[in-house]
Structure 1
């Protein structure tokens, strides 16, 4: 019962507080970087690069594939092209 209480009440609260702290931190870093002369586009690239590394890095260690990738066929290529055209 205590575990259910934690997941329903405490965990969403902690998640929201953490996300708000991250948003404030990124805003402060952005303000400091632009005052030093960093371009907005460069800042966006850097922030996406750092967030991608942070999000993907743990999965590399925990979700290793036991088998290889499927062969790259023309069908897969055309599906990728179609998705990129739609996107």
Structure 2
């Protein structure tokens, strides 16, 4: 019972807080780097490279063989609509 509570209530909240902390930390690093003269494009390149180095090992560590459901038209159209609205 306690494990179900942790997975359903605590884990999403913790992930959200960690995501916001990472976002704020990245904004602070961006401000410090650009104020010292680093190019925006170089900073983005370094950020993507670091994210790849961090996330790539997780692919092999957390390898689960779940079968994904097939893509249906209504799902693809909703993703397209969200992309257009987000743009």
Give TM class, smaller chain.
Answer: 0.5 to 0.7
TM-score (structure 1 length as normaliser): 0.66
Task: Evaluate the alpha carbon distance shift between residue 12 and residue 33 of structure 1 in structure 2; reply closer, same or farther with a 3 A threshold.
Answer: same
* Deviation of 1:57 (Å): 2.8
Instruction: Give the unaligned 5+ runs of structure 1.
Output: 64-87
Bigger radius of gyration, 1 or 2? Answer: 1
Q: Which residue of 2 aligns with 1:9?
A: 9
* Structure 2: stretches of 5+ with no match in the other structure: 64-87
4+ runs deviating over 2 angstroms: 57-63
| Alignment RMSD | 1.6
Instruction: Report the TM-score when normalising by structure 2.
Output: 0.66
